[in-house]
């Protein structure tokens, strides 16, 4: 009898230990899931503000460029208004997709502006103009790279949210999938890389 009771008591203890362990594991799981998602979300916000900074930088370069080109090509009014319109659309855009759209519009308008500039050799020789051209193409690189980083972080985050079992709890904790920053301009091809 005494032996039996002893066994029963230790069984009860074992179950308690197992339950306690399971509860602890669950707490640890939620803890790391939550923290991981929060840190990814912060990275997304940082990446987004980086894109914003670069888009603003791009818009800031435009008036100077337009004025320089105007000095040599006064009567190309159509191109100037198009560029200015695209610029103000970019400045006033608030949401992700409208920003992407306005940015593409500006790219198209600038393409026309630079095509026009081709016809003015004196303009092309202007140091201020070449410097602005360099700055603009650098800013376009910066927009492209910050978009690439943003999309890669969003991708990590979405994968984390979508995979089982996280997918069961993320809504409860208030995490929703994020959208990518798309661009209609020719997307640079992603590279397949294998490590040996």
Partner 1 sequence: MTITSAISANVTKTYVIMALFIALVVLVAYVLGQALGYGNGFMWFAVLLSVFSSFISYYWGDSLILTMSGARPADRKRDFDFFTVAENLAIAAGIPKPRLYVIDDTAMNAFATGRDPKHAVVVATTGILATLERRELEGVIAHELSHIKNFDTRLMAVVAVLVGTIAYMADMFLRTLWWGGHRNRDEDRGLGSIMMLVGIVLAILSPVVASLIQLAASRNREYLADASAAMLTRYPEGLARALEKLGKDKEVLEAATNATAHLYITNPFKGKEFGAWFANLFNTHPPLPDRIKRLRAM
Nearest distance in Å: CB 46, partner 1: 8
Q: Which is nearer to partner 1, 43 or 88 (CB)?
A: 43
Nearest distance in Å: CB 82, partner 1: 27
Q: Which is nearer to partner 1, 58 or 89 (CB)?
A: 58
Instruction: Please write down the HEC assignment for all residues of the chain.
Output: CHHHHHHHHHHHHHHHHHHHHHHHHHHHHHHHHHHHHHHHHHHHHHHHHHHHHHHHHHHHHHHHHHHHHHCCCCCCHHHHHHHHHHHHHHHHCCCHHHHHHHHHHHHHHHHHHHHHHCCCHHHHHCHHHHHHHHHHHHHHHHHHHHHHHHHHHHHHHHHHHHCCCHHHHCCCCCCCCCCCCCCCCCCCCCCCCCCC
Instruction: Please report, as ranges, the residues that interact with partner 1 according to CB under 8 A.
Output: 43, 47, 50, 54, 134, 138, 141-142, 145-146, 148-149, 153, 188-196
Q: Which is nearer to partner 1, 47 or 113 (CB)?
A: 47
Nearest distance in Å: CB 78, partner 1: 31
Q: Which is nearer to partner 1, 58 or 72 (CB)?
A: 58
Nearest distance in Å: CB 186, partner 1: 12
């Amino acid at each position: 009898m005494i032996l039996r009771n002893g066994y029963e008591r230790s069984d009860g203890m074992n179950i308690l230990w197992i339950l306690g362990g399971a509860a602890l594991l669950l707490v640890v799981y939620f803890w790391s899931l939550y923290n991981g998602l929060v840190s990814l979300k912060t990275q997304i916000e940082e990446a987004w503000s980086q894109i914003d900074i670069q888009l603003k930088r791009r818009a800031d370069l435009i008036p100077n460029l337009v004025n320089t080109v105007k000095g040599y090509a006064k009567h190309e009014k159509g191109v100037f208004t198009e560029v200015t319109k695209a610029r103000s659309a970019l400045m006033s855009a608030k949401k992700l997709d409208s920003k992407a759209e306005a940015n593409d519009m500006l790219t198209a308008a600038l393409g026309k502006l630079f095509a026009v500039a081709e016809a003015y050799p004196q303009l092309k020789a202007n140091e201020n103009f070449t410097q602005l051209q360099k700055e603009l193409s650098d800013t376009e690189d910066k927009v492209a790279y910050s978009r690439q980083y943003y999309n890669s972080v969003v991708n990590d985050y979405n994968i984390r949210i979508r995979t089982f079992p996280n997918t069961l709890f993320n809504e409860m904790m208030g995490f929703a999938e994020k959208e990518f920053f798309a661009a209609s301009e020719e997307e640079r091809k992603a590279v397949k890389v294998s490590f040996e």
